[in-house]
Structure 1
Amino acid sequence: MLVHICCSVDSHYFLERLQQDFPDEKLVGYFYDPNIHPYNEYLLRLKDVEYSCQKLGIELLEGPYNLEEWLKKVKGLENEPEKGDRCTVCYDDRLETSVKKAVELGHDKFTTTLLISPKKSQEKLEIIGNDLEKKYGLKWIFKDYRSGKGMEEQAKVVKENSFYRQNYCGCLFGLSAQRESQDKIIDEMFLPLSNQTLPQSIEYRLNLYNKRTNLEETNIPYRIIKQRFLNYRLLNAKVKIDGEIIPSYFLCYSTINRGKTNAKIAFEKAEIYYLNKDEVKLLSIDTFNDITQSHYRNVKDLMYHPLTFEAELKVRNDITQNPYGLSAIIIIDEIIDGKYDITIDAKVYDDTKEVII
């Protein structure tokens, strides 16, 4: 039996139940989910499914990540609600591609873990599965493992195995609508030019769950817990001196009240230059190198090869004795006496992140 798999949260309990109900059946998992965006989120879910299938002793195959083709198929349905027509097209695509793979591999049955997801329409999936059974001659296995205490048991299994609990369905359009209704920024779509790993970003979660898998493999006890914290994203920032834009690097948690200021240097202490407005602090790349024991050639070098986010917090603490202060700290190539026009568009917001202890 080929089992289309969407994510470990939905698949693990579903696959356990299939193993119980079909003890003589060889189950093969097929991860085909080109709707998942961005790509690092896709990788995170794939790796978590690999982790799940390894625990269950089930072979896993990966389908193509043909996002562009998927986007063409749902064109015009971008604003459809969850469980609407866009989702129906998505079900059609993923299930038919899975059935074709089942035929290719010589299987005579197929099913999907989408059936257990509370965000998916079982009625639509049943219709699609029945149609594909007639079209391709493979038996469609419809199982409602949601009912009874199914969802309760599923949640227990997820917690016991420390699976990655994604906080959106998968596609860009569902994500956008969900974040808009929550009045939150679409944090999942942030990827700095520097490739710095930001707190609670997809890259952060990918590293965390890779660490989880390594701890499992080495039998080291651990727990994944949630922590509330103040998160930060820099959307746009620039510095002008006497009207000319210069290269500049803004340390994490840099903000300015109302987003803009124009000021001059008021004084200097320990090679940190303090402007006369909005608590802005400037330092040269040479001073930054001295503080961090780094060897950056210039600010552009720092932009593309930054310190870790955690190391930046330490620099902020070294300068202000407050790692989570919100005053702007800006690194430029050299300190020039002139008029500084500074713009910062940044978001500081309450958030929750998972950590391993």
Structure 2
Amino acid sequence: MLVHICCSVDSHFFLEKLQKDFPDEKLTGFFYDPNIHPYSEYQLRLLDVQRSCNKLGIELLEGEYDYESWLQAVRGLEREPEKGARCEVCFDKRFTTSAKKALELGEKKITTTLLVSPLKSQEQLKRVGDEFYASHGVEFIAVDYRSGGGTQDQSRVTKEEQLYRQDYCGCIFGLTMQREQQNKLMDEMFSPISGQTLPSSIEERLEMYTTRNALEDENKEYKIVKQKFLNYRQFNFKLISGKKDLLEAYALSYSTLPRKKAQGRIEFSHNGIHYLNREEIKFITLLTYNNLSNSNYKTLKELIYNPLDFNKERILRNTLSGSDYDLTPIIVVNEIPQTKLSIYLDAKAYEDTKEKLIIFS
């Protein structure tokens, strides 16, 4: 039986149940999810599914990540709700490809871990699966592992196996509406030009779960826990001297302005820190930045495109302000300007939750 797999949270529990209920079937996993966006999220889910299948002794095949063709398939359905017409088109595409893969492998049965997802309609999945049985001759096995306490068992397995528990289906359109309803920033879509790994980002989680897998290979004990923290995203920033001269500048992480704009002049300096006469904004030179952070940036452009690790920059902020909770704009420039300055800074600091890897010695 070919088993279409969407994520480890659904697949681990689902595959365990299939192994018990279909002991004579050789199960083959098929990870085909071109709907998952961004690609780093796709990589993260695949990584965890690979780990899960290895634990269960199940072969895993990876389908093509043809995201562009998926976008074409759901065009015009972007604002459809979860379990609506867009989901059905998405199922159609994934079932068609899964059915073709099953035929290619000589399999006569297919099923999908989507059946156990509380975000999906089992009736909708069964209807699509039956249509494929009629058109492709591949039987769709519509098992129900949700009822009878199945959802609770799935949560237990997820916790015990320390699986990656994503909080959206993978679809950018579903995520957009979900975050709109939650009135939350869709920070999953942030990818800074610097390539810096942002806190609680998909890239940070990918690094953490890769480390987790390495720890398991080394038989080292670990625990994944959640913690609340103050997160930060910077949308845009620019510094204008006089009326229109754009200055090369860099704003440290956790720099915020309540009204997104401030104007003023440097009022005084102390210990290499230069203070604007408005909004408590601080300026330092690139030389001071290098000295305090033990770095060796030759130009501001180099700093902008290849900044320090986020945590190292937090340490630098603490050195300059004396607090881990300081949100004052700290701006790095080549030379301290003596003209009237206009600072445009659109950024947000907000309460968030992230995962942390605890390694036992």
Normalised by the length of structure 1, the TM-score is 0.98
Q: State the Cα distance separating 1:324 from its structure 2 match.
A: 2.3
Runs of 4+ with deviation above 4 angstroms: none
Once superposed, what is the RMSD of the aligned Cα atoms?
A: 0.9
Match of residue 297 from structure 1: 298
**What is aligned with 2:130?**
130
What displacement does 1:270 show?
A: 1.6
Mapped partners of 2:319, 2:230: distance in 1: 19
Give the fraction of aligned pairs with identical amino acids, expressed as a percent: 55
What secondary structure sits across from 2:24 in the alignment?
coil
Q: Give 1:259's aligned amino acid.
A: K
Match of 1:63 in 2: 63
Structure 1 residues 73-92: aligned runs within 5 Å:
73-92=73-92
State the AA in 2 paired with 1:327: T
Deviations 1:38-62 (A, max 9, x none): 1111111111101110110111111
Q: Aligned equivalents of 1:164 and 1:252: distance in 2?
A: 27
* 3-state secondary structure, aligned to 2:267: strand
Alignment of 1:104-183 (within 5 A): 104-183=104-183
Q: What is the 5 A alignment of 1:180-191?
A: 180-191=180-191
The answer for the alignment partner of 1:235 in structure 2 is 235
Find the aligned partners of 1:205 and 1:306 in 2 and give their Cα distance: 20
Pairwise mapping of residues 1-357 of structure 1 onto structure 2 (< 5 A)? 1-243=1-243, 244-357=245-358
Kindly state the Cα deviation for residue 32 of structure 1 after the two structures are TM-superposed.
0.4
Residues 228 and 350, structure 1, Cα contact 8 Å, conserved in 2: yes
Q: Distance in 2 between matches of 1:79 and 1:351?
A: 27
CA contact (8 A) 1:313 1:324 kept: no
- Post-superposition shift, 1:139? 2.2
Q: Distance in 1 between matches of 2:281 and 2:138?
A: 67
Aligned-partner SS, 2:259 = helix
Three-state SS of the structure 2 residue aligned to 1:4 is: strand
**Cα-to-partner distance string for 1:298-319 (whole Å, 9 max, x where unaligned):** 1111011110000000000111
Quote the Cα distance in structure 1 between the aligned partners of 2:306 and 2:176: 30
AA of the residue aligned to 2:317: R
Q: Which amino acid aligns with 2:194?
A: S
Distance 1:291 1:223 in 2: 34
| Bigger Cα displacement from structure 2, 250-259 vs 189-198 | 250-259
CA contact (8 A) 1:257 1:278 kept: no
* 1:124 Cα deviation from its structure 2 partner: 1.1
The alpha carbon displacement at 1:26 in A equals 1.0
How many angstroms does 1:90 deviate by?
A: 0.5
Letter in 1 for 2:112: T
Which region of structure 1 is more displaced relative to structure 2, 137-146 or 10-19?
Answer: 137-146
Letter in 1 for 2:12: H
Aligned to 1:258, what secondary structure does the other structure show? coil
C-alpha offsets along residues 103-134 of structure 1, whole Å, 9 cap, x if unaligned? 01111211110111111111111111111112
Instruction: Quote the offset at 1:287 in angstroms.
Output: 1.1
Secondary structure of the residue aligned to 1:223 is strand
Matched residues in 2 for 1:63 and 1:316: separation? 45
Total equivalences in the alignment: 357
